[in-house]
Amino acid sequence: MDVQASDFITIGLLVLLEGLLSADNALVLAILVLGLPKKDQRKALRYGILGAFFFRIVAILLAVHLIQVGWVKLIGAGYLLWLSYSHFFGRQAGEDRRAIKPAAGWLGLSAFWA
């Protein structure tokens, strides 16, 4: 296994993105605890930060496991193919791209998940 310069760039970008996500989480958590009494703010921040670390580690371990399962990769690939196809070919000829769409779609999920 040989290491290339692009590997270090990738690792650096991942560290940068992780730092940005951590800063975003800290900001949201700080805003959420503002309404609490002063004595409870420290406890809520501590539990929130520990919970964020715990769930991030769980998510990474789960992703490492799932990426080794063949059928999960096939489902993911199929979803990405469907997503790209529907993006380019899913609109009708006269449909306005700026038209207001319903908040819930298939299975009641919002457009964020589709």
Label residue 48 by pLDDT band (50, 70, 90).
confident
CB–CB of 82/74 below 8 Å?
no
Q: What count of Cα atoms within 13 Å lies in the side-chain half-sphere of residue 106? A: 2
Orientation of helix 38-66 relative to helix 5-33, angle to 10° = 150
Q: What is the pLDDT of residues 25-47, one digit of tens each?
A: 888 888 888 888 988 888 988 88
pLDDT at 77 over 80: yes
What is the structure's pLDDT at 3? 80
What integer is the mean pLDDT of 66-90? 89
Q: What count of Cα atoms within 13 Å lies in the side-chain half-sphere of residue 37? A: 2
Label residue 58 by pLDDT band (50, 70, 90).
very high
